[in-house]
Amino acid sequence: MKYVILIHSNPQPWGHPTSDYLAAHQGLPDDVRKRLNAEFEQVMAELQANGELIGGEALGDPAAARLYRWQDGSPLASDGPYSEAKEHLAGFFLVDVESRARAEEVAARFAGPGETVELRPAMWPGGDDQ
Pick the closest to residue 58 from 88, 22, 95, 23 (CA basis).
88
Instruction: Report the C-alpha gap between 9 and 59 in whole angstroms.
Output: 11
Pick the closest to residue 110 from 44, 51, 57, 58 (CA basis).
44
Residue 70: pLDDT band with limits 50, 70, 90: confident
Cα dihedral 115→90→87→24 (10° resolution): 30
What average pLDDT does the segment 57-83 reach?
78
Q: What pLDDT is stored for residue 42 in this prediction? A: 95
> Higher-confidence residue: 64 or 126?
64
Pairing state between β 53-58 and 88-96 = antiparallel
For residue 13, is the peptide bond before it cis, meaning its omega torsion is within 30 degrees of 0?
yes
- Does the predicted TM-score (pTM) go above 0.85? no
Question: Worst-scoring range by mean pLDDT, 23-32, 59-68, 112-121?
Answer: 59-68
Q: What pLDDT is stored for residue 29 in this prediction? A: 97
Residue 130: pLDDT band with limits 50, 70, 90: very low
